[in-house]
Structure 1
């Protein structure tokens, strides 16, 4: 006897098919409206969306970034192949960069620092006078004597030599910062790139790094990304056509994927969201889910026609009735797993989560409802569109699955799965949170950005920086000798970390002034003995507002200790943060306290800490969502635990590969990992639900497993093979992240399909869970050989 829920579903299916004209018209109208909205969605990266604003580090960064520097600083290096930079032609290039940088969009002109700027000063003194002047001044030295004098001044300036001029005198560094609210990578990148390219040549190399340059390269490769995306779709079409052998099996799944994308992008426009180029991989993942659900329905439709169903309406209705429950269960599980990412307090993750959830939910309409509605319009033809038949190969694979499941090989499958789970789970603990390599993991190591980054880090203290701010309890607190001594001690302590290339603070300025006031006697290179004396030394330094801002605020109450890093790998940042906290605890100051942390490394530290917590929470909550969905759908908590097997296995193997390949858990990979929870179980729903539905008609478990694998298994094979082969094209991307995500998608798809075809049927046959086989004391035992023969 049919239960009430089944009768309701049956009425719903009948209503959709019987009123297909109205359903199609409403769907078409909504799709047109959403398409108009979708074309207006912007593809861009918004830096503020990457910041977890509630984190203490971000609050410090935003409070002091205008004075002490933000996370968008660009470092430009001018390096000569032969000789030194102290040649007129080279110095003219340095000056041109310095003079033209203030014209770049959003530049803070007070934060342009180089050998040719007024920020780097030469302080000289004698018995008669003290002279403070820019190192190079407004004119490039003309004579050899002037060039030699400039070189001597650099060599005698500890804050310039090694920091802005390399130790071997072959390179000079120019740094520039931006007004954070005016940062626009699409404008900054081409302007700086044009300037840099115009000055390269004649034995001079010019390198540029920084977040605006990095995300500028991402936008630069956007046309290539779109070409790869479209080529991937083209490959997908060809493979679907090859395997499905029918136009309906090719076009309807693609239509489902396309309309899902249109609806999701239209919703993004309504919500005022942009689409970040880095998350386009997630778009492909969700599109893959839509195609997968549609392929299952088209395959079942063909099976119904082959079984003797006379009309397309009847075949479409039967396919929808049988697959609607596992389809909707898969959609809800995917959406729930995506939605939990919204708890990560980073705007980009929250936007990705909301749009991703909406995108997944659209599959319930575009694939689970509209695919059978469209099928009902088609003529009930069983003819093939081309002569190439891959079904014999697919049938052999499916018969191997059946033979393995119904023989003692099922224990071998479960044993191998257990070994893989334990081994990959242990190795997955090596997965790093944050970047795993030097340079940027978004681009390949041989990319121009990463080679520029390596060159700058080789010649200078480091292109990435973090500042720790001393907050005084009153104005003038930073002039206190105890405070300055503490800052100097922190610099020495942090300098012991190999990745810290150098540091800078107010404690570096005063000793040099003190020495110069005493006729450059090195014995007096020390801090003043009182706050008043240090104040006098600062007055003699005579900084302008831009110079002073790098070292303290106007009230001399707050001051940064800036650390320069050779890389911003996850381990480097975690070690630095731990060491800073250890120093602060061990060295308290009466006049105030240190607070963390600003600059790119400080921001990255905040993001990494949020991701570390978010990774654990997202995975745990995604698994909880899966358990709840299965418990509600099958009215059994054991069902949730049962379906966790393929999910956990696919994720541990994927995390194992990430750790092995040096792919860190970052902002870009976190939503992909969360979506992978749902991705790992969709195929299993179709196989297990197919077994369950077969057992409603008879009590022969072996026959039920055989029929489910031959029907639902065929859809799993088609989608997993076509999608896995298609994502291979992402390996050609100039964006390393996208290529690596292509690898991870292929692994997820492969492990998920293997789990559905081998592990899940074996588990059903061995454990015979009640939510599948029902409350039967005994299940009919047809011989394994007979079941295989019947297949």
Structure 2
């Protein structure tokens, strides 16, 4: 008597108790649905930052004083003439005043020509006087406007930094408190200010990281619309190719059940859903649909082949050989469903586990966003084991007209079968060696170009939006006009109070700034040193030759005291603390490309190592947006190879366990590596950087490159056990599992291309990446894997005695 495996017993139980199984799954779906409805869709800034990185620690400690990564820059540009006209100056003041009302604003970090922090330095018989240039009142007449122009031209802290060299533009900067930010409110508040004062001869441009996040939130309705359109296209294509209503409804149901369970569990664990990982959500949903389609293909195949389970007597009391004659070919759908579940259990579960573990590995990254993404993604993928591998075959057992079709055109006959026959022709005989060699060449070439992928942003502006988007247009205009809108600060931690009055320390800082300003990546710098020179020059009747540091600490202290006369609390915060112990050198960058940041940080670290501060004083890197991005890029670079290696190791171990063969673990490696090298080469070609947003998609690519192959290999293995014919087994697997690959691959490739219409460039590029990954995976699964099976005859597929079997002619 043939031994019944536990998988067969499990399948028999699910079908025999299908009402109970279905009821339990749907009841859990309703429960999780309640919690899923309450999942938070929002971005939390600190989720983007790597925990424990020294740059992040410095940023968190000093950002509210020296300027954090959430700075918004607003450029006010005169379309005719310069800014020194009443209309333009009034706009600058109105914008500055309105910014104080935006939620989460750091009121000590609003800086513009109309703020009290922008001051002029004047000398008289009474001494040195510093007072705001254009606060609290605007110039009253042309004489006062002319005086304002002279003051701007005389101040190196203003001219070139807050007023452009051509005098046609002025800059307003505002920092926001990280922990208080609501990106939607911030976006609405700042954009309303820009729109309110734009026009009538004045152009207002706005950039800044929090505003960028607000743009992503702004496009959420469009994102959901694209998601719905994509699902609709998938449904139509499934209907055309599968030609049955179950071919649409069951895969979609599997996707919905998985999504509801995952979001419900995320809500239960208080995990927010970041808008930027919606692409990952779609990709995981697509995996659920893919597994369900494979189950449908296996079900149809079982109906055609007419096999029955050894444990068929448990299926509702039906004895072997006693079949329902009312059904076409006399085969029970309950038996076909159970048999399909058994046939696909190993490849399906292996694919699900490999996918889930590959995504879970991303949790090794110290960024909370990636850890949350890994958690939600792994759970989501894990639910496929229930939605596609259990629920779908259970529902298939209720099919009453298994051979009925709803779409009249036989796409299988006219499209799918010819393509699969072509694949069968290419991978058998001598052609199989050619296919393997071509695969090897593609692997080597793509591997070479994959090394050129950039860690961090690869292009100027933001990769989240298109180059012609108003945000990127404004960013280019501001960076071309001023020293740069992206800031990084290096902290000077003195050994005690008044350390930053010491001439040795200040000379070191001055030399450091001069060095920085020779770097092409850095547009300009500012520090407490820039306050002392102008005061000293004013004491010498404005002679710029005396714009220098004092020879002793007491003189520097007196010069700083003179500057501070008339200043308000908080005015000095961006330069130095109240004890003159800690200060900052702030750098302005014109872009935050990965190469720009890496080069700048490397040169800064090299310089500081060779030119340390005297005594116990030290420099500490780094805060601000560029400092934060430098930390993120370092973590991505350090963990990228590690994550891919761990994912490949997981694939090896799980495959070896599933097939009880180390050869099986190695067999799938070329396919997965090729999928990734081709994709990374494409990223390098298109200028798509490897960053915190693209990394989860890259991790999912490990699973995308192997799911289809599991089904093809198991199909060959199963048929060889029945026929003993290698060629017939390969062709038979291509006709069934290969059909599922063609349907799901073609359907998803066509559907995800819809994302290219997104206003978010990131979503469009991720759509292209997914389409490329799916294309490579489908082609390699249909050509390279069968060719490798034919050429190498792996024992985990054929066992012993394959040589005489391979010589047998192929059967139809």
Which residue does 1:676 correspond to in 2? 701
Distance 2:712 2:344 in 1: 10
Q: Which moved further from structure 2: 246-255 or 122-131?
A: 122-131
Distance 2:402 2:170 in 1: 73
Q: 2:543 is matched with which residue: 506, 521, 526?
A: 521
Q: 2:568 is matched with which residue: 514, 519, 544?
A: 544
Does structure 2 retain, via aligned residues, the 8 Å contact 1:127–1:519?
A: no
Does structure 2 retain, via aligned residues, the 8 Å contact 1:232–1:726?
A: yes
Matching of residue 412 in structure 1 with residue 434 in structure 2: yes
Matching of residue 204 in structure 1 with residue 202 in structure 2: yes
Does structure 2 retain, via aligned residues, the 8 Å contact 1:309–1:315?
A: no
Deviation of residue 476 (structure 1)? Answer: 1.1
Distance 2:12 2:284 in 1: 28
Does structure 2 retain, via aligned residues, the 8 Å contact 1:483–1:589?
A: yes
Distance 1:332 1:485 in 2: 60
Distance 1:120 1:621 in 2: 53
Which residue does 2:736 correspond to in 1? 711
Change (3 A) 1:505 1:2: farther
Does structure 2 retain, via aligned residues, the 8 Å contact 1:165–1:173?
A: yes
Where does 1:662-741 land on structure 2 (aligned, <5 Å)? Answer: 662-741=687-766
Where does 1:447-486 land on structure 2 (aligned, <5 Å)? Answer: 447-486=469-508
Distance 1:184 1:414 in 2: 54
Does structure 1 retain, via aligned residues, the 8 Å contact 2:356–2:382?
A: yes
Does structure 2 retain, via aligned residues, the 8 Å contact 1:701–1:779?
A: no
Deviation of residue 613 (structure 1)? Answer: 1.4
Tell me the alpha carbon deviations over residues 446-494 of structure 1, each in whole angstroms, 9 at most, x when there is no partner: 1011111001001100000101111111111111111111111111111
Matching of residue 617 in structure 1 with residue 642 in structure 2: yes
SS of the equivalent of 2:366 reads: coil
Matching of residue 341 in structure 1 with residue 362 in structure 2: yes
SS of the equivalent of 2:359 reads: helix
Which residue does 1:608 correspond to in 2? 633
Unaligned 5+ segments in structure 2 are: 306-328
SS of the equivalent of 1:110 reads: strand
SS of the equivalent of 1:109 reads: strand
Q: 1:332 is matched with which residue: 341, 350, 353?
A: 353
Which residue does 1:577 correspond to in 2? 601
Does structure 1 retain, via aligned residues, the 8 Å contact 2:82–2:167?
A: yes
Deviation of residue 696 (structure 1)? Answer: 1.7
Q: 2:124 is matched with which residue: 101, 126, 133?
A: 126
Q: Which moved further from structure 2: 476-485 or 129-138?
A: 129-138
Which residue does 2:26 correspond to in 1? 28
Does structure 2 retain, via aligned residues, the 8 Å contact 1:326–1:686?
A: yes
Which residue does 1:249 correspond to in 2? 247
Q: Which moved further from structure 2: 137-146 or 287-296?
A: 137-146
Does structure 2 retain, via aligned residues, the 8 Å contact 1:320–1:372?
A: yes
Q: What's the TM-score, normalizing by structure 2?
A: 0.95
Change (3 A) 1:361 1:309: farther
Which residue does 2:805 correspond to in 1? 780
Which residue does 1:372 correspond to in 2? 393
Does structure 2 retain, via aligned residues, the 8 Å contact 1:699–1:779?
A: no
Matching of residue 590 in structure 1 with residue 614 in structure 2: yes
Does structure 1 retain, via aligned residues, the 8 Å contact 2:484–2:588?
A: yes
Q: What's the TM-score, normalizing by structure 1?
A: 0.98
Distance 2:331 2:597 in 1: 67
Which residue does 1:276 correspond to in 2? 274
SS of the equivalent of 2:541 reads: coil
Deviation of residue 524 (structure 1)? Answer: 1.6
Matching of residue 387 in structure 1 with residue 385 in structure 2: no
Change (3 A) 1:730 1:281: same
Matching of residue 350 in structure 1 with residue 371 in structure 2: yes
Distance 1:276 1:747 in 2: 24
Which residue does 1:510 correspond to in 2? 532
Unaligned 5+ segments in structure 1 are: none
SS of the equivalent of 2:223 reads: helix
Matching of residue 426 in structure 1 with residue 448 in structure 2: yes
Distance 2:728 2:330 in 1: 21
Does structure 2 retain, via aligned residues, the 8 Å contact 1:257–1:287?
A: yes
Tell me the alpha carbon deviations over residues 106-156 of structure 1, each in whole angstroms, 9 at most, x when there is no partner: 101111100011001111112343322111122211311111111111011
Change (3 A) 1:751 1:777: closer
Which residue does 2:225 correspond to in 1? 227
After the TM superposition, which parts of structure 1 deviate over 4 Å for at least 4 consecutive aligned residues? none
Tell me the alpha carbon deviations over residues 484-509 of structure 1, each in whole angstroms, 9 at most, x when there is no partner: 11111111111122121110011111
SS of the equivalent of 1:502 reads: strand
SS of the equivalent of 2:604 reads: helix
Tell me the alpha carbon deviations over residues 568-604 of structure 1, each in whole angstroms, 9 at most, x when there is no partner: 0000000010011011111022231111100000000
Aligned length: 785
Where does 1:624-639 land on structure 2 (aligned, <5 Å)? Answer: 624-639=649-664
Deviation of residue 379 (structure 1)? Answer: 0.7
Distance 1:201 1:271 in 2: 48
Q: 1:320 is matched with which residue: 341, 347, 359?
A: 341
Does structure 2 retain, via aligned residues, the 8 Å contact 1:684–1:756?
A: yes
Distance 1:463 1:370 in 2: 53
Which residue does 2:790 correspond to in 1? 765
Deviation of residue 777 (structure 1)? Answer: 5.9
Tell me the alpha carbon deviations over residues 414-449 of structure 1, each in whole angstroms, 9 at most, x when there is no partner: 111111111110011110000000010000111011
Does structure 2 retain, via aligned residues, the 8 Å contact 1:441–1:737?
A: yes
